């Protein structure tokens, strides 16, 4: 029978406690760290937030580079959407960094953030079901009017467009990587999407190599205002009846904190919209503001 009053028994018990205590402390510390990561997933791991922006076609007045003495300053990104997103990130308390690349690569890098770690957040994106499979779309931040650009050399009185569907009667040209889902285009295979640059299409219109260029109206004139786009004197625009396009920020679904980040940024944007601060950003550039 075990003698619990024996001095040897007491010594063994104390030795056992001494050996097991560090293991207990380590286990508690590990559990605490796991709980913290579970409630705030990988926030520190990818801070600052890596942002990617398309660099080929600036998207003024929403996202574009500042100018100094007429020269592009790629150290300073400005615009209504840029100010809004940066204000939202500041409100959350997250820092951020910028990467610039072609828009198609932006989409690719954000989709594959989990494996590459290059791009976690971007904006100025319209909705596509295929994008929604790999991105978290955030709350909308602005809307544009949809229309077409044309040449008065080809259409002195403008194209005949009593309804938006009438654009299918014309030869269309557009820009690679842009989303044309909101336009009622019946045959995308007949749509000239060979150009990566708005300016190339403007020249096509002037030279009658295509009839119409479908586009959001505001960013084209915004680009002209900052010198990013050169619109020939013969080019005009016409709005398509009843068509508008909504634009969103988006976060990679492959990010370990993607859902958390999308929810926090959306919440911060809504607060800025409700207080009127967001609209002030847009009214610096557009009399009608964000259109939201």
pLDDT in tens, 171-182: 999 998 889 999
Looking at the predicted structure, is the pLDDT value of residue 38 above 80? no
Instruction: Check pLDDT > 80 for residue 20.
Output: no
Considering the domain boundaries, does residue 8 fall inside one?
no
Q: What is the pLDDT of residue 189?
A: 83
What contacts 24+ positions apart, CB below 8 Å, involve 63-68?
Answer: 63/123, 63/124, 64/222, 64/223, 64/226, 64/228, 67/226, 67/227
Q: Are residues 53 and 138 in the same domain?
A: yes
- Residue 44, domain member (yes or no): no
Is pLDDT of 34 > 50?
no
Q: Are 234 and 155 found together in one domain?
A: yes
In a domain, 17, yes or no: no
Does 149 share its domain with 208?
Answer: yes
Which two three-digit tokens encode residue 43? 């926030």
Residues 109 and 197 in one domain: no
Residue 65 sits in the same domain as residue 130: yes
Structure tokens, 182: 């909101």
6 pLDDT higher than 90: no
- With CA atoms as reference, report the closest residue to 176 among 127, 99, 107, 232: 107
Instruction: Answer whether 172's CB lies under 8 Å from 210's CB.
Output: yes
Could you give phi then psi for residue 235, rounded to 5 degrees?
-90, 135
% the chain with pLDDT above 90: 74
Report CA torsion sign: 123, 175, 163, 127: negative
Q: Looking at the domain assignment, is residue 9 inside a domain?
A: no
- Do residues 126 and 153 share a domain? no
Top pLDDT among 111 and 15 is at: 111
Predicted pLDDT at 25? 46
159 plus 240 within the same structural domain: yes
Question: How many domains would you assign to the chain?
Answer: 2
User: What's the pLDDT at 216?
Assistant: 96
132: region left, alpha or beta (phi > 0 left; psi from -120 to 50 alpha)? alpha
Task: Compute the mean pLDDT over every residue in the chain, rounded to the nearest whole number.
Answer: 87
Does the model's pTM come out above 0.85? no
- Asked whether residue 13 carries a pLDDT value surpassing 80, the answer given is no
Give the pLDDT confidence score for residue 188 in this predicted structure.
86
CA distance 179 to 167: 16
If you average pLDDT over residues 69-87, what whole number do you get? Answer: 94
The phi, psi pair for 225, rounded to 5°, reads -65, -30
Query: What is the rounded CA–CA span in Å between residue 154 and residue 174?
Result: 17
Q: What is the pLDDT of residues 107-156, one digit of tens each?
A: 999 999 999 999 999 999 999 999 999 999 999 999 999 999 999 999 99
Whether 40 maps to a domain, the answer reads: no
Distances (CA, A) of 75 to 6, 66, 145: 77, 8, 30
Per-residue model confidence (pLDDT) at position 7: 57
User: 222-232, pLDDT tens digit by residue?
Assistant: 999 998 899 99
Could you tell me the CATH number of the domain that includes residue 68? 3.40.190.10
Q: Are residues 160 and 120 in the same domain?
A: no
Domain that holds residue 171: 145-244
Q: What is the pLDDT of residues 188-225, one digit of tens each?
A: 887 898 888 899 999 999 999 999 999 999 999 999 99
DSSP labels for 213-234?
EEEEHHHHHHHHHHTSS---TT
Mean pLDDT of 87-115: 95
Residue 39 located in a structural domain: no
Q: What is the pLDDT of residue 45?
A: 53
Place of tokens 């259409």: 155
290 falls within a domain = no
What average pLDDT does this structure show over 40-55? 75
User: Is the confidence at residue 47, as pLDDT, over 70?
Assistant: yes
Give the pLDDT of residue 268: 98
């Amino acid at each position: 029978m075990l003698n619990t009053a024996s001095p040897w028994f007491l010594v063994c018990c104390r030795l056992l406690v001494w050996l097991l205590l560090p293991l207990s402390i380590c286990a508690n510390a590990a559990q605490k760290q796991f709980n913290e990561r579970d409630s705030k997933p990988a926030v520190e791991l990818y801070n600052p937030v890596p942002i990617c922006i398309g660099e080929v076609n600036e998207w003024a007045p929403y996202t574009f580079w500042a100018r100094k003495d007429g020269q592009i300053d790629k150290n300073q990104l400005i615009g209504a959407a840029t100010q809004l997103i940066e204000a939202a990130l500041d409100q959350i308390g997250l820092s951020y960094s910028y990467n610039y690349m072609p828009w198609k690569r932006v989409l690719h890098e954000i989709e594959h953030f989990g494996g590459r770690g290059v791009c976690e957040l971007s904006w100025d994106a319209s909705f596509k079901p295929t994008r929604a499979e790999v991105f978290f779309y955030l709350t909308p931040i602005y809307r544009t009017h949809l229309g077409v650009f044309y040449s008065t050399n080809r259409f002195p009185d403008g194209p005949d467009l009593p309804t938006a569907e009438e654009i299918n009667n014309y030869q269309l040209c557009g820009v690679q990587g842009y989303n044309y889902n909101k336009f009622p285009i019946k045959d995308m295979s007949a749509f000239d999407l060979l150009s990566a640059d708005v300016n190339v299409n403007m020249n096509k219109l002037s030279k009658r190599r295509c009839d119409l260029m479908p586009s959001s109206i505001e960013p084209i004139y915004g680009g002209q205002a900052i010198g990013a786009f050169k619109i020939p004197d013969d080019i005009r625009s016409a709005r398509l009846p009843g068509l508008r396009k909504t634009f969103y920020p988006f976060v990679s679904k492959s990010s370990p904190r993607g859902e958390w980040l999308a929810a926090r940024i959306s919440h911060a944007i809504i607060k800025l919209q409700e207080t009127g601060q967001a609209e002030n950003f847009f009214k610096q550039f557009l009399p009608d503001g964000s259109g939201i």
